[in-house]
Structure 1
Amino acid sequence: MDSFTIGYVCFQFVIGLLVFGVLWWKKGWYTHTNTAASILTIIGVFGTFIGIFIGLQVFEIENLESSIPGLLNGLKLAFLTSLVGILEAIILKGYAFVYQMIRARDPSQEAINKFVDGLKEALESVETSGESNLSSKLDDLTKVIKDKDDIGTVLSGIRDVKTALTGETERTIFTQLQNLLKVVSESRLSTIETSLSDSEGNLLTELRSLKTEITTKHDELKSEFQAFSENVAESVAKLATDELIEALKTVIEDFNAKLTVQFGENFKQLNEAVGRTVAWQEQYRQQMDKLADEFRVAAESIEQSRVSMEQIAEASSEIADKSSSIVVCAEDMEPLLHTLNDQLEAFSNLRDQAHEAFPLIENRLNNLTTRLSAAVEQTIDSSHVSMETQRRKLNEHADELEDTVSKIALELKNLVERNKEDIENHVNILHGDLRKEVNTLNESLRAELTNSLQTLAGNIESLSNGFVDNYQELAGHYAQALTALTQFVNASQQAQSKRI
């Protein structure tokens, strides 16, 4: 509870105590409890509107979470001030009711007593001052009646007074006045007759005129009282009722107009704020739905990426395994290349030695032919065996490589499609380089073998036709082997290109 709320509640209590003090100081205070209760209630309602206004001042649609506490504090002030105002009004009315119950009075009897006192004063005035004083007393009596706060009490008192004035019983005021006047007249007449016996004639005349005058005055007074009672009852009742109704209508219309304006404007603002809050909640719900969909799509994409990465990892492991197999195959082919190189060097050395030892060749031709034939045959056999073994291994590795490439092609299809151009460029470059190397090696081997064979053939053609035939057959086998190797490489390139 903030300091403003505490201050306003204390202000309400101070106003309540002030109202209690003013009513207690005024005579007949309990007749003003309705007005005082209305004042206290209006102060409470005013505090209610202040609380709602404070809550709406700090309320911001763009920042609901931080503005809700301020709105709730304003509503606390509104409800607390209303509660305090209504409680003070209830306490005031309850106390007035208890006070009236304790000090209960009879309004009609009190009004009759006041009216009788006024009549007695009027009679005394009649005896002393005449009609002018009677009219002033009647005016005073009218003012006393108009000063009454309780309209019901006034009307009841007036009816009782009218009954007392115009009744036909012996206890009516006019009957008592008539009897009193008769007694007074008789007493005065007897006194005058006793004291003025000497001047009886004159005095009797005067007494008769006085009696006549008193009787006339009595009749006039009676008629005036009857007319006055009727007019006063009707005019006071009508005047009090009309004024009270008009005053109540005016107060009620003003209160309803102010209450309608204040409540209508405040509830209109509250309705607009609630409408904007509902619209903001709908937009927030739509944004949350879109965000949930985006999170769902992102999760699915991450899951697909994870599966693709697992497949790539598995394919990469298989590629590494197959690469090791290719390395082993290359290592197996390396001794064959060394053997061919050694044999070519041997042929080159043989050519060099042939120039130097040409005279000796003629002597050792037969032995050399035999040994060369055996060596050539052995070399051919070894070459056949080695080539067969290498061909078989190459076929096996080619089959394994083909299977591996097929699996990799299936698993990495998406990746290859994305990087298709780069892969094709690299493959073309590799194929071109490999083809150039193979062609270069083939041409070098062909040129070297051709030169060596031509030189050797030119030198030893005259020695042995069989040696030339065997050498040509060996060259043919080497050429076939190189041709087969070239065809295998070309076939592998074509198969790889088709798979890609």
Structure 2
Amino acid sequence: MDDLVKEITNLRKTLSGDEEGSLISQVKMLRQDSNDQQKKLQESFDNFAKHMTENNQKAFIKALKEAMKDFNQNLTEQFGENFKHLNQAVEKLVTWQQQYKDELEVIKQYQSQFTGDMKQASEAFTTIVDHAKQFTEIAQNLKLLLESMDKQKDVLFIQEKALSELLVTMKDHIPEFSENTRKMISEISNGVKHVQAETVKVISDYSSEIKTVNNDMKNTLADVIKGTHSSLSDGIKASVKTIQESITELQSQTAEIIKNHGAQLQSTQAEMKNILIDGINKSQHEVNAGLQENARIIKEGVLALDKELEKSLTDSLTSLGKQLASLSEKFVHDYLPLTERLREVVRLAKHSEDA
């Protein structure tokens, strides 16, 4: 029993005694060691967290700088190339605009020249129309003149026929008229001679008779001379009529020629008018067709250029979006494990503090 009490006392001392080997002392030492270890662990964790934070910040900043550098480099390269293409496209657009401007100037000059040509053609056509009116008036006057000349021709033909009949009649009587005149003159000469002889003989006795005979002779000679003059006048008039008829016929032929030429001239004028109108219409049609073709080509060029620019810009923006998406995905992929580790460290720290 004493031994049991002694052992129990020793056990109590061992458990609650102040000796170094007692259980309480060991527990105290263990707690002290635990506290020291906890402090060291806390200090180590703090140092680790501090270094980790610094390292993570440095690494994050470095990675972010590298990422920004790569991003800027890729952005510079991509946008530089895109802007290079854009500048080339803009240069081509400026060149095309200059060419389009030059073509418009040329078209403007052609239009001005065409306007001048059309103006000259209009003036020439107006002149032709005026001349055509004059030709119409002249043709009308020639028509009236020809109608009058035809009437005169008919009258002259009738007169020519009557004159021809008269000449035929006179042809048969002229020798007889000449013979009678010759006989009359011969008889007058004989009578004069006889009268002179008788006068010489009996001048004093027959003076009154000589005067009477002389008067009769004078009257007879006057009648003969008058008849001769009338015949000569009729011959001259016939010759004049013949000449006038010849002139009239010549004028008629000339008028007919003029009339034919007038008809030919009107026909030629109509043909020239039709040719001129056809030429003007054809030129107008060709110019309109050329302008429409140029407008179509210019419109197609503008549409093609717009499509090319739109396609280039769309491709550039699409490529840039893909690169930004790839960079963002890489950024998330690279820093997601680091975030998970930081989250694990924080969780461990909280767990240690709770313990």
Q: TM-score, normalised by structure 2?
A: 0.41
More helix by share: 2
* Structure number with larger C-alpha Rg: 2
**Higher relative contact order structure (alpha carbons within 8 Å, sequence separation ≥ 6):** 2
Q: TM-score, normalised by structure 1?
A: 0.31
